[in-house]
Amino acid sequence: MVPPDGSVDYYHSLALFEKLHTLPSPVIDALVNRLSPQDVALTAQALGDQVRQYHRLFMLPAVAHCGGSTGPSSIGGGMPEPPAAFRDADHHVVSAVIKWVEQGIAPERIIATRFSGGALTLSRPVCPYPAQAVYNGSGDVNVASNFTCVQQVESASSITPGDIVLIKNSLTQRALELPHR
């Protein structure tokens, strides 16, 4: 899709976009999702920081598809809801988007949490791709404040546009009803 006037401003007027992806997910490959910011950038005829003004991708580690694994999955927005005390813009994706829209402050991290019996057992920052949470080297590994979001060097993707077409076709074919023989 090309904006009517060829500018990025058209996309800014549409909406801010925050995307979450759980890892590992047998349904949607994270590599496909990782390409999306670049695809959006090409479509909007913009690169890098311009795209980050309206698009963020947060990948939740050790959560599996729709939660149910050992990772910190309480972030709201379709994932398990954290307790009321953790529904601020730092811990809750919907609150983070509201803050982004209403105050113009984009999320630089979301602190994902895990609870057991009502007690907080794990918190970890989830950074906007391509940044990753890196342990500072001291303190409890289950506490988010002991991690920092670090920008990773983007390597050239080995996935081609043709691969994306094949992946999309594969996912579509799984939903097709085959004739009985």
The DSSP result for 26-94, as a single string, is SSS-HHHHHHHHHHHHHHTT--THHHHTTEEEEEETT--TTS-SSS--B-SBTBPPPPGGG-STTT-HH
List the pLDDT tens digit at each of the 181 positions of the chain. Answer: 333 444 444 444 334 444 554 444 444 555 555 555 555 445 444 456 666 777 787 888 777 666 667 888 788 776 667 788 888 999 988 899 889 889 989 899 999 988 888 889 999 999 987 788 999 999 999 999 999 999 876 555 566 677 666 666 665 555 555 555 5
Cis peptide bond upstream of 130, omega within 30 = yes
Q: Is 0.85 topped by the overall pTM?
A: no
Among 24, 114, 128, which Cα is nearest to 66's? 24
CB 114 within 8 A of CB 122: yes
